[in-house]
């Protein structure tokens, strides 16, 4: 996405993976592969916009100029939507329409939002508790399978 948060997470993950896997000689091969993959993925996102965005991390800039408050307004409106449609939500891809019609706070300025910019609120607003349960079940399954995959890879080395 080219976001500062994603880039910082990429850097953090590469350092963590290096330290985690490199302490054991057998795991060094995995560490090299993981770090190489992360570095290749990281260099593919460099653009003028990304580099300029990273500059704002180093230099302190007032967050009000980036309208970070807009996200808080979005979450407030989304939470009101969730309270009105708790079980099944407003339906897939209906978030922007319903949000603009009834739930957008007066202070908010962004009209073109595909989702709530928060995975839990996005799941709750579009699919309700039923869909959020499915999303959390899917995420749990992926975490469990990831752990099993890593474990089986480590046994091979």
How many CB atoms are closer than 10 A to CB 104? 22
User: What confidence tens digit (pLDDT) does each residue in 67-88 have?
Assistant: 567 788 888 889 999 999 999 9
Nearest by Cα to 102 from 135, 78, 125: 78
Using DSSP's 3-state secondary structure scheme, residue 150 falls into helix
Q: Which residue has the higher pLDDT, 88 or 31?
A: 88
Q: What is the pTM of this model?
A: 0.53
Place of tokens 């091969």: 29
């Amino acid at each position: 996405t080219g976001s500062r948060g994603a880039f910082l997470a990429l850097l953090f993950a590469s350092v963590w993976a290096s330290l985690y896997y490199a302490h054991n000689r057998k795991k060094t091969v995995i560490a090299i592969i993981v770090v190489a993959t992360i570095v290749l993925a990281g260099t593919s996102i460099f653009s003028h916009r990304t580099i300029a965005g990273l500059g704002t991390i180093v230099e302190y800039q007032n967050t009000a100029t980036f309208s970070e408050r807009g996200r808080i307004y979005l979450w407030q409106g989304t939470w009101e939507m969730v309270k009105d449609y708790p079980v099944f939500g407003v339906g897939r891809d209906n978030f922007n329409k319903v949000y603009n019609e009834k739930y957008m706070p007066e202070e908010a300025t962004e009209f073109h939002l595909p989702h709530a910019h928060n995975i839990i609120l996005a799941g709750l607003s579009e699919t309700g508790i039923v869909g959020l349960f499915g999303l959390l079940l899917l995420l749990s399954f992926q975490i469990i399978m990831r752990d099993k995959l890593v474990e089986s890879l480590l046994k091979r080395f």
